[in-house]
A and B are shown apart, each in its own frame.
Chain A
């Protein structure tokens, strides 16, 4: 157990729908990062939050949004889902703002049908 908790583990939904993925960081970590990993593709950085504020943005679509709450958990909202959004979505957390030494959760597998 890495200490980073992601729910749900699996999610199946239809095109056009909206889903919310949840991440609880490791105790003491202030940064949360979201990544997308499509089948046989590398990890793509989506967005980072640090202590409730957006810190960095990667290749995140306009249909996707995220936030980090006062208790430091984070949610990734995916809307108007398309078949191509099917992927593993990982959350990682770290103490500081840098990417150095962060820990990944076990991911949420999203299947859009």
Chain B
């Protein structure tokens, strides 16, 4: 069964600290993996997109990694800011994007 599991479900850290969010998937055949940031009440915004051959991709203070062998991805946030408070959603595409599977997201709270 195609599934995307994210952990932790929620995370609270202090402003300026780093954090890492995890995404494990059981999706086959794998096409690509994306991380989205969703502010409360807003639409998700794409952070990174990685295909099978890509191990890492950065977008400013956000760095995503992908291990296609273990079917794991992580999103590392460096020097967190209050504006990073949001839900982070991992999305995996199946079979040349005919189907996509959403994770339930990690809710990140940044405290001043």
Contacts and interface: CB of A to CB of B under 8 A. Distances in A.
Given A42-B103, A42-B104, A88 B46 contact: no
B98 interface: yes
Given A42-B103, A43-B89, A98 B44 contact: no
Nearest to A4: B43
Contacts of B42: 106-107
A104 B44 contact: yes
A56 to B, nearest CB: 7
A57 to B, nearest CB: 11
Interface string A1-12: 010100000000
B32 interface: yes
Contacts of A4: 43
B49 A107 contact: no
Interface of B: 31-32, 41-46, 49, 89, 93, 96-100, 102-105
Interface of A: 2, 4, 41-45, 56, 88, 90, 92, 97-101, 103-107, 109
24 contacts: A2-B45, A41-B104, A42-B105, A43-B89, A43-B102, A44-B102, A45-B100, A56-B99, A88-B41, A90-B43, A90-B44, A92-B43, A97-B97, A98-B93, A99-B93, A99-B99, A100-B32, A101-B49, A104-B43, A104-B45, A105-B43, A107-B42, A107-B43, A109-B41
